[in-house]
């Protein structure tokens, strides 16, 4: 529930990406709009581009090394040499696709992941519901055509400009 002194705002935008390079460009654009404490939820079908988008955000924030998909490891972490965007120095990228039950998040150390990293990106966040907190940015990637992706961006309760 929203109190009188609390202004809550959702901002939504739909972007069509015709190829992987456009998805990477979107990730670069998004990186400039996120700050410390952000939780990003990435949803969409297998192969839709969730990892491509997450990887481009990580690189745009200044990480120079290889960015692995967390599909099998469930979590990959990255430390930036120079903090970005008012203090993002550590990033966690999780993939919950193989999670059997949301309770497994406790065994993965979800509380520590959320508190120890300045930015957390979670693919397949619906697999962790209802234990995950509400993300600041929700991203839904759908196939529009075989090559084109429809990306729905929804910033929740943030004062940001897309």
pLDDT tens digits for range 20-51 = 999 999 999 999 989 899 999 999 999 899 99
Q: How far apart are CA 145 and CA 12, in angstroms?
A: 22
In order of their start, the domains of the chain are: 13-156 (3.40.50.300)
Whether the per-residue pLDDT at 141 is higher than 70: the answer is yes
Q: How far apart are CA 105 and CA 148, in angstroms?
A: 33
Whether the per-residue pLDDT at 162 is higher than 70: the answer is no
What is the pLDDT, as a whole number, of residue 4? 36
Whether the per-residue pLDDT at 97 is higher than 80: the answer is yes
pLDDT tens digits for range 55-81 = 999 999 999 999 999 988 999 999 999
């Amino acid at each position: 529930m929203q109190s009188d002194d609390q202004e809550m705002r959702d901002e939504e935008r739909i972007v069509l990406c015709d190829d992987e390079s456009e998805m990477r460009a979107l990730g670069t654009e998004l990186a400039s709009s996120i700050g410390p404490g952000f939780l990003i939820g990435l949803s969409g079908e297998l192969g839709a581009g969730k990892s491509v988008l997450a990887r481009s955000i990580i690189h745009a924030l200044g990480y120079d090394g290889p960015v692995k998909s967390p599909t099998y490891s469930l979590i990959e972490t990255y430390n930036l040499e120079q903090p970005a965007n008012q203090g993002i120095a550590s990033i966690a990228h999780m993939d919950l696709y193989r999670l059997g039950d949301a309770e497994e998040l406790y065994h993965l150390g979800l509380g520590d992941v959320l508190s120890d990293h300045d930015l957390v990106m979670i693919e397949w966040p619906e697999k962790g519901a209802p234990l995950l907190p509400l993300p600041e940015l929700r991203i839904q990637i759908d196939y529009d055509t075989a090559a084109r992706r429809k990306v729905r961006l929804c910033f929740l309760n943030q004062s940001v400009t897309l």
